Amino acid sequence: MSPASRFASVRNGESIEASKVPVVSAPEFRSALLRAGAAGYRLAALLGEPAPAGRGASLLAVLADDAAGKLFLVASEPVERFPSLTPDLPQAHLFERELRESCGVEPEGHPWLKPVRRDGAETAAFFREEGSEVHEVAVGPIHAGIIEPGHFRFQCHGEVVHHLEVQLGYQHRGAEALLRGGPDRRSLAVAESVCGDTAVGHAWAHCAVREALAGTLTPLRAEAVRAVALEVERVANHLGGLGAVSNDIGFLPATAYFGRMRGDSLNMLMAMSGNRYGKGLLKPGGVAFDLPPPMRAAMAETVARSSREVAEVGEMFFSEPSVLGRLEETGIVTAAVCRDLGVVGPSARASGVDRDVRQDHAHGLYRFRHIPSIKLESGDVYARTMMRWLEAKRSLEFLSVALARLPEGELAAPCGAPAPGRLAVALVEGWRGEVCHIAKTGARGTFDWYKVVDPSFHNWMALAMAMRGGEISDFPLCNKSFDLSYAGHDL
């Protein structure tokens, strides 16, 4: 029997009648997810919908079959407690903690049920290793740099890290609660603000959900403008990350060059939208602004110059023996660990796990113009940093072609109200990895619930695993190599 035989199937950016999602008993739900996980399916989302009677919640799982380009959905009957999936399906670990926190559902047998975001996390106990020579190091939530707040608790023997526990939640703003009951005039702005450096990625996922629920077909020109904006966002953040890694190891020429080139990409977003992060460019049904010929010509010139400079600075950086000595064999995460934890994006591809929404669940312009995926094997800081340089170069190549061959057509199609009683899933490959938005409408066509899964939600545990057996002095460098979002996790 196929592991998906009891599931409903949709494609990325499609909607389905909510009543057609199979509802199974809690034991069947668990068995189905374990079979799917064993068959190589990935847990894109696991959420709970509070039961009408007010006790417990119905669980909904979204599983991705990346090889087939399909998404599968299955729901459980209302439960107040269920046997935890985590011991057998580790990628469910943070989803189950979130379920307990948000719905009061108890995953029995979960190894570490600390709060994820809400009050209580600060007073909950940390994992503690005992021993006369073991010591504990606490870092954050307030840091020396201008970064978001997060707490890191290390269990060390000398300089060697045995365990790192990451405690977040300080940036929790209630984004999903603000989206429930919509869509309204603020919904798009909330989606753009889930993670400020991925405004285009989250805006696209939100628009795709609303378009799927309304049955709107987005014009190809609008999809092309969206893809241009997403790749410019990717280049800006990858170059910023390369500069941050350079700074952490004291290779300041590359820090200066990458920082300046990041500014060029941010200025392109500014020209496209009036905002250096691309806010206000996308809207349900299409885009708000066109790329007229003079702007395209100026952007093409910037892209051509950036392509040359990114190649030259990267070659200088990666040919320096002192750089390689610091990056290689530091913070290794294996492919097996990535698969177990459901790691996504460049962090997964740097460990040999080829996951990319642009090829696996292609949408918009990516259905017609592909960006060849890059995969490295070593899974260390070197691979994660090299991945970002190579992806920036690939994105610049894509932009060169996309700007020269922008299709004709309208900028937007009318996007009406969402149809009632439907459920939609949208995936977008943000620069950190898979951005997932899921919405379900009620009888009046408003969002009964709205779920966001930022790639950092999947990937923070990979940072903890990268530190195991490493030296605590490697932490800032490992942290920069993943470059994860605190706000995207905390919502």
Total domain count for the chain?
2
Q: Domain end: 108, 123, 157, which one? A: 108
pTM of the model: 0.96
Same domain? 184 vs 306: yes
Tell me, yes or no, whether 138 lies in a domain. no
Tell me, yes or no, whether 133 lies in a domain. no
Report pLDDT for 120: 61
Provide the domain limits for residue 283: 175-462
Check which CATH number belongs to the domain holding 84 and give it.
3.30.460.80
Same domain? 291 vs 398: yes
* Regions of the chain short of the pLDDT cut 70: 1-2, 4-5, 119-123
Report pLDDT for 132: 83
Tell me, yes or no, whether 129 lies in a domain. no
Report pLDDT for 122: 63
Report the 3 state secondary structure along the chain. CCCCCCCEEECCCEEEEHHHCCEECHHHHHHHHHHHHHCCCEEEEEEEEECCCCCCEEEEEEEEECCCCEEEEEEECCECEEECCCCCCHHHHHHHHHHHHHHCCEEECCCCCCCCCCCCCCCCCCCCCCCCCEEEEEECCCCCCCCCCCEEEEEEECCEEEEEEEECCCCCCCHHHHHCCCCCCCHHHHHHCCCHHHHHHHHHHHHHHHHHHHCCCCCHHHHHHHHHHHHHHHHHHHHHHHHHHHHHCCCHHHHHHHHHHHHHHHHHHHHHHCCCCCCCCEECCEECCCCCHHHHHHHHHHHHHHHHHHHHHHHHHHCCHHHHHHHCCCCCCCHHHHHHHCCCHHHHHCCCCCCCHHHHCCCHHHHCCCCCCCCCCCCCHHHHHHHHHHHHHHHHHHHHHHHHCCCCCCCECCCCCCCCCEEEEEEEECCCCEEEEEEEECCCCCEEEEEEECHHHHHHHHHHHHHCCCEHHHHHHHHHHHCCCHHHHHC
Report pLDDT for 130: 83
Same domain? 96 vs 201: no
Report pLDDT for 1: 54
Same domain? 207 vs 104: no
Same domain? 201 vs 97: no
